[in-house]
Chain A
Amino acid sequence: MQQTFPIKDDELEALAKNAIDSVFSTMLNRSTTIQEVIKIDEDNHPEGIQLPVDASMPMIAGTVGFLGNLTGIIYIFMELPLAMEATCSLLDMEEHEIGTDDHELVNDAIGELTNMIVGTFKNDLSNKGYECRMTIPSILRGSNFSIEPAEVALRRIFKFDCGGRSFVIDVLMKEEN
């Protein structure tokens, strides 16, 4: 049975929005808007859910977990062209300087952006009294992602727009006793 979660939906949306706004405006000088919020319960999607992105589009996913009073994991799914734009902006480089095959640099940049986004999210949780520490970021590449968590109290998916390109953040959390 699903646990009652101590953070309300509007609070969680504000946390996600602040984390994204803060990192995108500070590090990339870009603004974002929320396009869609998907609430997922064990009952309505027991088999998992298809992410609200073009399944055929190549994606890069950064992920960082956190452990403490609240334990969870956050995924950032980004269309590859946006990931490339973000890397260029972050490192002050042109696309041709990076090269389409330089996965290592793009992976590292998206990993670091994910780290900052989850860090901001986690620091806001700390300010609300939930102390937790972060894990080291990891990166996945592919398309047609589907996350089927084993046991979470809460899962919310936020779809954002950044200058006409989409990205998604998938938040999975549970409260530790």
Chain B
Amino acid sequence: MRLKILTVDDSKTVRIIVKKSFKGFDCEITEAQNGVEGLAMAAKVNPDIILLDITMPVMDGVEMLTKLKSDPALKAIPVIMLTAEAGRENVMKIAKIGVRDYIVKPFKEDVLVDKVSRVVDLRPAGEAEPVQKKIDDPIDILVVDDKPAIINQVKEGVAHTPWNIHGVSSTGEAIDFCQKKIPDCIVISLSLPEDAAITLFRIIRSNAKTKYIPLFGLSVKTAVEEQARAQQAGFSTIIHKPIDFEEFENKVGKAVNLDASGKYFEMGEGYMTVKLPKTCNASVVNEVSTYLKAKTSEAVNSGISKIIFDAQGVSSLNMDLIKLLLHSMKTCRDLSLKYALTGNDVVIEESKKFEESKDWKFCDSVETAKASI
């Protein structure tokens, strides 16, 4: 999908320069000459980002920004101010209203492109949209730790996944690795000697090719000081030793933006099964909810009209899960889809304790559930 950029400037020259700057990228530029036109255009095209001048006739940039941020339908659109006005008073005023960045004229075109690319996914023209990797696709994780035992522990901990764990022991080796292959995620031991973790973090972040790689710090829970320093430096997250691999997989999945729907949703002939895992805590329920609408639409579009909610593996029923199932069943009814529930003895027993679920009928297997609808 083409990226939509809206440039709001009373100067035709600036609007032409903006167009010229993004010529080599897969975007569609729309223009407005003042704040009034800018708001109307924003509502019409729903841009991915707005480049906004301050000093304009009719309605200036500050007023437009204020109105944009108070409109529920438009307030999420990121705005970069592009202006000759850089006084402290102005900067403070617009920072309070909420801008993502600020470019002071005169500006180099590559600065404009760089700042926009930090906010939205700017792809060169003609380049295909990257395919989102799935949770069961192979990804490359680089572990930087001077203790081989830790690297082996990570390899063993994720051995059941198709993920490739590459271990190196020093900053130099890590940089060499990244020059040959860009990993999807890097885990750095925070206890590397001579502050090497922070040094490596800065080197990775300052390189255009590696600056967006998620960087995890690895530390023992009690090393509070080194964790605070890592967080201050900007590490994406901290993984505690001994590593909880379920948590580790979740964090990597989220940081690398892996499509985890395959863990829960399965399409079969005429059926979609929603397989609920053993631990259905708030985070898992939230993840399933995130995919539910899209996967249900996908199922309907491919001709599937029956859904099985499989809770046989669930160890304990809780209110979050009940709410998820209530919501899912309502969605099915709204879409005229047939559905059935499966559950084990514990789930069936616990469901009777809640007002919302006391009347639910469970099947004892997926096959029985299929036959019942």
- Asked if B104 lies at the interface with its beta carbon under 8 angstroms from chain A, I say yes
Q: Is the CB of A116 within 8 A of B84?
A: yes
User: Which chain B residues border A105 with CB–CB below 8 Å?
Assistant: 12-13
Q: How far is the CB of A175 from chain B (nearest CB, A)?
A: 17
In the complex with contacts A120-B84, A133-B87, A92-B20 CB distance below 8 A: yes
What 0/1 pattern do residues 70 to 92 of B give for CB contact below 8 A with A? 00000000000001111111100
Q: Is the CB of B13 within 8 A of A91?
A: yes
Q: Is the CB of A26 within 8 A of B12?
A: no
- Tally of B interface residues using CB under 8 Å: 24
Q: Is the CB of B106 within 8 A of A22?
A: yes
What 0/1 pattern do residues 154 to 190 of B give for CB contact below 8 A with A? 0000000000000000000000000000000000000
Once bound together, how far apart are the Cα atoms of A91 and B105, in whole Å?
15
Main secondary structure of the interface of A (DSSP, over half): helix
Q: How far is the CB of B314 from chain A (nearest CB, A)?
A: 61
Q: Is the CB of B55 within 8 A of A23?
A: no
Q: How far is the CB of A36 from chain B (nearest CB, A)?
A: 24
Q: Is the CB of A115 within 8 A of B11?
A: yes
Q: Is the CB of B104 within 8 A of A123?
A: yes
Main secondary structure of the interface of B (DSSP, over half): loop
What 0/1 pattern do residues 116 to 149 of A give for CB contact below 8 A with B? 1011101100100001111110000000000000
Q: How far is the CB of A64 from chain B (nearest CB, A)?
A: 9
Q: Is the CB of A91 within 8 A of B88?
A: no
User: Which chain B residues border A116 with CB–CB below 8 Å?
Assistant: 84, 105-106
Q: Is the CB of A26 within 8 A of B13?
A: no
What 0/1 pattern do residues 15 to 32 of B give for CB contact below 8 A with A? 011001000000000000
In the complex with contacts A115-B84, A122-B87, A134-B85, A90-B17 CB distance below 8 A: yes
User: Which chain B residues border A126 with CB–CB below 8 Å?
Assistant: 86-89
- Asked if B10 lies at the interface with its beta carbon under 8 angstroms from chain A, I say yes
Once bound together, how far apart are the Cα atoms of A108 and B16, in whole Å?
11
- Asked if B57 lies at the interface with its beta carbon under 8 angstroms from chain A, I say yes
The chain A residue with its CB closest to the CB of B104 is: A123
Q: Is the CB of B89 within 8 A of A119?
A: no
Once bound together, how far apart are the Cα atoms of A92 and B106, in whole Å?
16
Q: How far is the CB of B162 from chain A (nearest CB, A)?
A: 48
- Asked if A72 lies at the interface with its beta carbon under 8 angstroms from chain B, I say no
Q: How far is the CB of B25 from chain A (nearest CB, A)?
A: 16
Once bound together, how far apart are the Cα atoms of A23 and B83, in whole Å?
13
Once bound together, how far apart are the Cα atoms of A112 and B86, in whole Å?
16
- Asked if B150 lies at the interface with its beta carbon under 8 angstroms from chain A, I say no
Q: Is the CB of B20 within 8 A of A112?
A: no
User: Which chain B residues border A112 with CB–CB below 8 Å?
Assistant: 11, 13-14
Once bound together, how far apart are the Cα atoms of A135 and B84, in whole Å?
11
Q: Is the CB of A133 within 8 A of B14?
A: no
Q: Which of B306-341 contact A (CB under 8 A)?
A: none
Once bound together, how far apart are the Cα atoms of A116 and B17, in whole Å?
14
Q: Is the CB of B105 within 8 A of A119?
A: yes
- Asked if A16 lies at the interface with its beta carbon under 8 angstroms from chain B, I say no
- Asked if B278 lies at the interface with its beta carbon under 8 angstroms from chain A, I say no
The chain A residue with its CB closest to the CB of B9 is: A112
In the complex with contacts A23-B106, A26-B107, A116-B105, A90-B13 CB distance below 8 A: yes
Q: Is the CB of A27 within 8 A of B55?
A: no
- Asked if A109 lies at the interface with its beta carbon under 8 angstroms from chain B, I say yes
Once bound together, how far apart are the Cα atoms of A26 and B107, in whole Å?
6
In the complex with contacts A116-B106, A134-B55, A136-B55, A91-B17 CB distance below 8 A: yes
Choose among A108, A133, A136 the residue that contacts B13 (Cβ–Cβ < 8 A).
A108
Once bound together, how far apart are the Cα atoms of A104 and B83, in whole Å?
21
Q: Is the CB of B84 within 8 A of A91?
A: no
The chain B residue with its CB closest to the CB of A123 is: B86
User: Which chain B residues border A23 with CB–CB below 8 Å?
Assistant: 106
Of listed A104, A105, A108, residue having the most chain B CB within 10 A? A108
The 8 lowest CB-CB distance pairs between A and B, nearest first, are A119-B84, A26-B106, A126-B87, A112-B13, A123-B86, A112-B11, A109-B13, A116-B105
